[in-house]
Structure 1
Amino acid sequence: MAPDTVSPRPERLEPPIRWSGRVSLTTRILAVNVFALVLLAGGFFYLESYRARQIDFRIQRAVHELNLIADALAAAPADARPQLLAKMGERTGTRLRLYAPDGTLTIDSWRLSGPNYTLRDPAEESWQRHVARFLDRFIDFVAQARRPGDYVEPQIDRAQLWQEIRRAEQAGHTVGVMSFAPDRTFMITAAGITPAGPLLLTTNARDVTRSVRAERFRLSLVLLAVSAFSIFLSIFLGRTIVRPLRRLARAAVRVRLGRDREVVVPRLPERRDEIGSLAQALADMTQALRQRIDATDAFAADVTHELKNPLASLRSAADAMARVSDQSQRDQLMAIIQDDVRRLDRLITDIAEASRLDAELSRARFEPVDLGQVIEKMLHARELRGPNPRDVEVAFARPRVDTAVVRGDESRLVRVIENLLDNAISFSPDKGLVQITATRIGDEVIVRVEDQGPGVPAELRESIFRRFTTVRPDEEREQSHSGLGLAIARAIADGHGGTLEVETRDQRPQGAAFVLRLPAIPQS
């Protein structure tokens, strides 16, 4: 029995798993990886804020440029204004239009220097541009981006027909707005009122759309690479975590159903992680369970065998009594029956104790026990019952108080020493001597029980501790021994984290010596 059963400690309870406990491990692994992808995909919507900042900056720049151009127009003579607007339009990449106070177009920079941007017709563009515009609309819809109006030039180019100029007149200062060109690129328009008349600035901010789409393309490549890696990682985790767990679960089910006597639980020796530890623990547990089942089956078979002999003798004597009329013979048969009944009672008592020993030790509360005092009280009780039939003397070397102190169940430890003492007395010659010592050496308390009997052969050193095994003659065994005493003693020693061994004839000049070793309580 493992030493940890001596003083069991309750395991710390982990927080209960609620909803996640209903979802398979593979699904949870995939969900975690997909969640990371969703966070990465959120970068597409971050581009909307980047684009909005770029547009706001371009609007502010257009307003600033218009104000500077208006100041330059006010300082220039009237005949120099056309050339000034043409040069300004070329340098800023904009179209500048100056209207008379009555709204008539007086100066157009494109008529003087030519167009510096082109409004493209979507119908003439490639399919890639259509896909890009579709993605723009989709992301704008999901991100709830602001939706500007379409850029439409009036059929008659007059100041009153431009809503930007009307807004500037109402506001009393320069205003700037953004709108969509036919190909869904951005048009930046700024309007202001100058002493020479209304001034209008327009430009196609195609570079903003181009930069946003380029960043979106790069982010798409990163997302595809991360998606591929995430799928690979999910498959890898599924193979390295879920599949071994399923193998262990299937093996555990076969063990539970008992359909396969020799179920091989995979130990996974190549795994150095928690799953490898789990596989090793399950394999060891299965092997221990199989050994315990085998031991139980063997014990049941041994019990059946041991009970058959006294039952057969008892039945034979009972049948004979029905046919015998001689009183002396009937008395002999009655003595046999009584002896068989006592033997059966002793066997049943020892069998019952051996079968429930493990369960009782696992529930026992171990406390400090001074083996010196225990042995002294036990020998005193024996003296009160009178000398043993063979006048075997028992000598005990009493250790110092609080020296031979162990942690355990006192009644069970008494049973160990009683069994060893009874065994030593039974093998000792008439008027022989049995010596008991209890000493502490290092971290162990050692109890020795020595007799002057024939000793134990080396080849029987371990077999005598098996159930229903003894080296006595059959007639002597049937009289007063069940063959369970030493087996019970060793089981109790194992349950206390100790050992019980015997010194053989090769190790001693005469007799046998049983050595009980138990962990000592540290001295304060």
Structure 2
Amino acid sequence: MAPATASRRSEAEGEGRDLTLKWSGRISLTARILALNIFALALLAGGFFYLDSYRTRILDNRTAQASREARLIAAAMVSTPADHRSDLALRLARDTDTRIRLFAADGTPVADTRAMGLRNFVLVDPNKEGWGLQAARFLDAIIDTVVNAPRAPLYRERKAGTEWPDVRTARTTQAAPATVWRAPDRTPVITAAAGLGDGEVVMTTVNARDVTQTVRLERFRLGVVLAIVTLVSIFLSLFLARTIVRPLRRLSRAAVRVRLGRAREVVVPRLPSRRDEIGSLARALSDMSQALRARIDATEAFAADVTHEMKNPLASLRSAVDGLANVKDPALQERLLAIVRDDVHRLDRLITDISEASRLDAQLSRAKFDAVDVLAMLAALIEQRGTRGIERGVRIRFDNRVRGDALVMGEGARLERVFENLFDNAVSFSPDNGLITVAATLSDDDLVIRVEDEGPGVPEEAREAVFRRFQSIRPENEEFGKHSGLGLAIARTIVEGHQGTIAVESREDRLSGARFVVRLPLAPG
């Protein structure tokens, strides 16, 4: 028994280790559901990092475009007389939507399209914008900080050309890479310069506000998607918490009440409308609690019945023992000793039957069933009784109507006990020289055994009570205490443990007597 218990314990511990959660097991299921959905949202929020790279690519394209435009404008200026370069710069500035400036070799400004009246490069004062754009700039600053975007230098006007890094580079290399500046409203300003020869330089300036507007538009779309997904995720998380966590919490509280035993009848919610695993768990727990309550009630009733049944022989035994101390008559003493012996035998038989009845359910649940030939078993039992001789001339006849074997999955010793009890019961109720008929037939996939006697029969209102523990209707001429009242109860427990049924009926031939019918399922195949 100990090795089997240890084996089951080790198997349970192994299964428990497979389901063990380390650090996450300390967090509630609701929090884990929310964390999982928030993690998915965080992956979606990573799209803001993509927008930063998207903005970088756009600026790279715009700076390359500004460098090309500066070189083309420089080439056009070189082929134009010096007195017409201002007019050409004004026309090109209108066409390219840029501010164009010409610087002499010493860095002195020669021409400026803004001074000519073309105001296509105007920086926006952020203090004069509405709250929407201010909020957008604040969000730009937050995102740039989160994604660790490089911070461009602040754009400011310079008088001399030598103060511009693009101009200084273009004086020596003829073409300089474009530079990205940051306007006061956080929009990019791109400057590019190209040399004309002899130290003269042309510089273009453009406020690429469209880049910021494009990025903000994409970010707004991503933010709308993120907000919708967040709301849907929160709703689904709460829905999951409501449909999973709440019923589990109710089942847990009910299980705690069952464990504490604070209520006589703890109602475990069965959740009949649910057809998922939680519904199956709820119904399993409900059935388990009901079976546990039924077993507890049966144990309490059994204990009360045992106490009641043992009081009678104990009272008789105590009275006889007390009388022995005061009685001097040898004949009377012998009678008292006979009472003591009968009471001791009765207690021994009662304790033996009680012990078997109390262990029967647990033993049947652990028993290993084998194929049992019930017909051969019945023939052997009847032959043994005939060999030993049956009291009062009672005879037993076996009417086997089954061709071949009839195998039943079960435990042979237990099934023998069933039929032994039925034979004892039939013999005790049979009249002198009576006949007991044992018939075996097949009905569908069941083996049906009928045990009929010629006794007084069982009243219809008592046909269920005779299978209860300590409930017995005994013959009037039977010696008191000869039976414990557990035989038929033990027989029913064994039969039901073999997935069968046992019942008592009237005889079909309308003769007096009782018929006990046992149905056992045949073994597969």
With normalisation by structure 2, the TM-score equals 0.89
CA contact (8 A) 1:399 1:438 kept: yes
2:258 aligned with 1:244, yes or no? no
Offset of 1:267 from its aligned partner? 3.1
Paired residues in the alignment total 512
The corresponding residue for 1:179 is 181
Write the distance in 1 (CA, Å) between the matches of 2:459 and 2:173. 118
CA offsets 1:327-360 (integer angstroms, 9 cap, x no match): 2222222222211211111111001100011111
CA contact (8 A) 1:266 1:283 kept: yes
Letter in 2 for 1:96: I
CA contact (8 A) 1:90 1:113 kept: no
User: Which stretch of the first structure deviates more once superposed, 331-340 or 99-108?
Assistant: 99-108
Letter in 1 for 2:212: T
Q: 1:213 to 1:330 in 2, by over 3 A?
A: same
Which of 368, 372, 386 is 2:371 aligned to?
368
Which of 277, 287, 301 is 2:280 aligned to?
277
Letter in 1 for 2:364: L
Q: 1:172 to 1:68 in 2, by over 3 A?
A: closer
User: Which stretch of the first structure deviates more once superposed, 447-456 or 354-363?
Assistant: 447-456
Q: 1:125 to 1:308 in 2, by over 3 A?
A: same
Offset of 1:488 from its aligned partner? 0.5
Offset of 1:314 from its aligned partner? 1.8
Q: How does 1:478-493 map to 2 (within 5 A)?
A: 478-493=480-495
Letter in 1 for 2:310: L
Which of 501, 519, 522 is 2:521 aligned to?
519
Write the distance in 1 (CA, Å) between the matches of 2:336 and 2:193. 134
The corresponding residue for 1:387 is 389
CA contact (8 A) 1:40 1:223 kept: yes
Q: 1:402 to 1:108 in 2, by over 3 A?
A: farther
Write the distance in 1 (CA, Å) between the matches of 2:335 and 2:25. 73
User: Which stretch of the first structure deviates more once superposed, 165-174 or 61-70?
Assistant: 165-174
CA offsets 1:191-247 (integer angstroms, 9 cap, x no match): 222448422111001121123223333433444444444444444444443333333
Write the distance in 2 (CA, Å) between the matches of 1:169 and 1:377. 123
Q: How does 1:61-80 map to 2 (within 5 A)?
A: 61-80=65-84
Offset of 1:173 from its aligned partner? 4.0
User: Any runs of at least 4 consecutive aligned residues in structure 1 with deviations exceeding 6 A, and if so which?
Assistant: 399-402
What secondary structure is seen at the aligned counterpart in 2 of 1:265? coil
Write the distance in 2 (CA, Å) between the matches of 1:70 and 1:443. 105
Letter in 1 for 2:284: A
What secondary structure is seen at the aligned counterpart in 2 of 1:112? coil
Write the distance in 2 (CA, Å) between the matches of 1:446 and 1:63. 103
The corresponding residue for 2:191 is 189
2:301 aligned with 1:298, yes or no? yes
Write the distance in 2 (CA, Å) between the matches of 1:474 and 1:510. 16
2:432 aligned with 1:430, yes or no? yes
2:180 aligned with 1:161, yes or no? no
2:63 aligned with 1:59, yes or no? yes
The corresponding residue for 1:307 is 310
CA contact (8 A) 1:59 1:176 kept: yes
Letter in 2 for 1:34: I
CA contact (8 A) 1:458 1:506 kept: no
CA contact (8 A) 1:371 1:438 kept: no
Letter in 2 for 1:63: S
Write the distance in 2 (CA, Å) between the matches of 1:221 and 1:451. 87
Write the distance in 2 (CA, Å) between the matches of 1:507 and 1:380. 26
2:30 aligned with 1:34, yes or no? no
What secondary structure is seen at the aligned counterpart in 2 of 1:447? strand
What secondary structure is seen at the aligned counterpart in 2 of 1:184? coil
Q: 1:477 to 1:497 in 2, by over 3 A?
A: farther
Letter in 2 for 1:23: I
Letter in 1 for 2:503: E
Flag structure 1 segments of 5+ consecutive residues without an equivalent: 1-7
CA offsets 1:69-128 (integer angstroms, 9 cap, x no match): 334334445454333322221122111223344444333233335120211234444454
User: Which stretch of the first structure deviates more once superposed, 351-360 or 371-380?
Assistant: 371-380
CA contact (8 A) 1:428 1:452 kept: yes
The corresponding residue for 2:329 is 326
Q: 1:402 to 1:278 in 2, by over 3 A?
A: same
Identity %: 55
Write the distance in 2 (CA, Å) between the matches of 1:301 and 1:382. 35
The corresponding residue for 2:470 is 468
What secondary structure is seen at the aligned counterpart in 2 of 1:513? strand
Write the distance in 2 (CA, Å) between the matches of 1:84 and 1:376. 127
Offset of 1:519 from its aligned partner? 1.9
CA offsets 1:364-396 (integer angstroms, 9 cap, x no match): 111222212322333344345x11122222222
Write the distance in 2 (CA, Å) between the matches of 1:95 and 1:78. 19
Q: 1:349 to 1:73 in 2, by over 3 A?
A: same
CA offsets 1:407-440 (integer angstroms, 9 cap, x no match): 1212111111111122122222222222223344
The corresponding residue for 1:43 is 47
Write the distance in 2 (CA, Å) between the matches of 1:270 and 1:175. 72
Write the distance in 1 (CA, Å) between the matches of 2:354 and 2:473. 19
The corresponding residue for 1:4 is none
User: Which stretch of the first structure deviates more once superposed, 67-76 or 447-456?
Assistant: 67-76
The corresponding residue for 1:286 is 289
Write the distance in 1 (CA, Å) between the matches of 2:392 and 2:490. 25
Q: 1:171 to 1:195 in 2, by over 3 A?
A: closer
CA contact (8 A) 1:95 1:110 kept: yes
2:222 aligned with 1:219, yes or no? yes
Offset of 1:270 from its aligned partner? 4.2
The root-mean-square deviation of aligned C-alpha atoms, in Å, is: 2.8
Write the distance in 1 (CA, Å) between the matches of 2:510 and 2:116. 127
User: Which stretch of the first structure deviates more once superposed, 427-436 or 71-80?
Assistant: 71-80
Write the distance in 2 (CA, Å) between the matches of 1:436 and 1:119. 113
The corresponding residue for 1:134 is 138
User: Which stretch of the first structure deviates more once superposed, 342-351 or 240-249?
Assistant: 240-249
What secondary structure is seen at the aligned counterpart in 1 of 2:291? helix
Q: 1:475 to 1:22 in 2, by over 3 A?
A: farther
With normalisation by structure 1, the TM-score equals 0.89
Which of 346, 356, 359 is 1:356 aligned to?
359
Letter in 1 for 2:465: S
What secondary structure is seen at the aligned counterpart in 1 of 2:480? helix
The corresponding residue for 1:337 is 340
CA contact (8 A) 2:394 2:434 kept: yes
Write the distance in 2 (CA, Å) between the matches of 1:293 and 1:454. 36
The corresponding residue for 1:82 is 86
What secondary structure is seen at the aligned counterpart in 2 of 1:502? strand
2:107 aligned with 1:108, yes or no? no
The corresponding residue for 1:421 is 423
Letter in 2 for 1:353: E
User: Which stretch of the first structure deviates more once superposed, 163-172 or 146-155?
Assistant: 163-172
Letter in 2 for 1:248: L
Offset of 1:397 from its aligned partner? 4.0
User: Which stretch of the first structure deviates more once superposed, 230-239 or 135-144?
Assistant: 230-239
Q: Relative contact order, CA 8 A, sep 6+: which one is greater?
A: 1
Offset of 1:147 from its aligned partner? 2.1
